[in-house]
Amino acid sequence: MKPAAFDYVVPRTVPEAVAALGDTGRKAQVLAGGQSLILDMHLQRIRPELVVDINRIAGLDRLSVDGDTLRVGALVRHRVFESAQAVPGPLGALFARAVVNIAHPPIRSRGTMVGSFAWAHPASEWCAIGTALGADIEVCGLEGRRTVAARDWFHGPHRTARRPQELITAVRFPLLGDDTGVGFVEHRRTHFCFAQVAVAAALTVCDGVISEARIGLVNCADRPLRAHAAEQALIGTEVGAPVDGYRLPDGHPFTHAGRIAANQDAAPLPEPFADVEYKRHVIAVLVGRTLCQAANDRRSRLAQPKGDHT
């Protein structure tokens, strides 16, 4: 099949892009990486009347740190995060562990993180990480600029708080301190499939006790989730000695948190090769493994010479 006919504009500034999106009232789509958009247009799952290509807008490809916040511009490609050094501290390590699960190198070279927030696929790694860490999405429209918290951004598969005339300009993440360990584990049928389940975790530990836990669930509902009940069960828990995530004892706090996440936080939907019961089992297992990875990450981080954290 071929895409339906559409008009194509290439703005040079954000105001020009916003004007193009809001001026005519036509169905419009924004082209940044286009790795999902072009396929859906090719199959005519979507039929935009106008495509607004933002790749010529200067400054949208910037990755910057302002105080304790990382700002990811709308044209920053996935591949940037393959190096843990691209982002300071544990956040860089978390991004590096997650990004290798996104498709394969050609797509990571063109696709964008912000595009994932725009597309809002339930199996998006970035969307779950943003939800877990409390990211903010910056948008610009005819009525000006506004910021939407990730917890309020996702309304369902491919549905977000973005208004039709708005352009997402960046996503902001809070940086993580060196007392935080991170983990990311994904399960899928083949390397080229979407995740059946994936889990992101960040554990902050003070004096051997978990003081904060953040757990993001991928493809465990019709939108990315934060596992609040499982997180609360971990607060005040002693980390204890290192444990192999593949051999977690039945009574371990991480095992308990996994079961809570699977049965209280998640709302999995059945899909081919993964019914609800199977997905709940995988969620419980992966949450435990990811928490182990995060706890071990913090230990190894503290063991490194100061200034050599990656």
**CA–CA distance, 71 with 65 (Å, rounded to integer):** 6
Predicted confidence (pLDDT) per residue in 99-144, tens digit: 999 999 999 999 999 999 999 999 999 999 999 999 999 999 999 9
- Tallying the residues shown for the chain, one arrives at 310
Burial class (CB in 10 A: 0-12, 13-18, 19+), 12: exposed
Cβ(27)–Cβ(49) below 8 Å? yes
Q: Give the pair of three-digit tokens for residue 288.
A: 């435990």
Nearest of 168, 165, 163, 174 to residue 132 by alpha carbon: 174
Q: Give the pair of three-digit tokens for residue 29.
A: 């789509």
pLDDT at 98: 98
Please spell the DSSP secondary structure of 84-140, one letter per residue: GGGSSHHHHHHHHHHHTTSS-HHHHHH-BHHHHHHH--TT-HHHHHHHHHT-EEEEE
**Tell me, what amino acid is at 184?**
F
Predicted confidence (pLDDT) per residue in 22-57, tens digit: 876 679 999 999 999 999 999 999 999 999 999 999
Predicted confidence (pLDDT) per residue in 146-205, tens digit: 999 999 999 999 999 999 899 999 999 999 999 999 999 999 998 778 999 999 999 999
Q: Which helix (H) or strand (E) holds 297?
A: helix 276-303
**Tell me, what amino acid is at 67?**
G
Predicted confidence (pLDDT) per residue in 215-245, tens digit: 999 999 999 999 999 999 999 999 888 888 8
pLDDT at 191: 79
**CA–CA distance, 212 with 28 (Å, rounded to integer):** 41
* Predicted confidence (pLDDT) at residue 309 exceeds the cutoff of 80: no
The sign of the CA dihedral 220, 222, 224, 226 is negative
Nearest of 281, 249, 289 to residue 263 by alpha carbon: 281
The sign of the CA dihedral 220, 224, 226, 229 is negative
Cβ(195)–Cβ(152) below 8 Å? no
**CA–CA distance, 173 with 150 (Å, rounded to integer):** 10
Average pLDDT over all residues of the chain: 94
Q: Give the pair of three-digit tokens for residue 143.
A: 């009525």
pLDDT at 135: 98
pLDDT at 310: 52
Q: Give the pair of three-digit tokens for residue 242.
A: 């290192």
Q: Determine the average pLDDT of the residues in 255-267.
A: 98
Please spell the DSSP secondary structure of 136-183, one letter per residue: EEEEEETTEEEEEEHHHHEEETTEES--TT-EEEEEEEE---TTEEEE
**CA–CA distance, 76 with 252 (Å, rounded to integer):** 40
Cβ(173)–Cβ(241) below 8 Å? no
What are the distances in angstroms from CA 269 to CA 147, 197, 201, 220, 222? 30, 11, 22, 7, 7
Predicted confidence (pLDDT) per residue in 74-99, tens digit: 999 999 999 999 999 999 999 999 99
**CA–CA distance, 149 with 156 (Å, rounded to integer):** 15
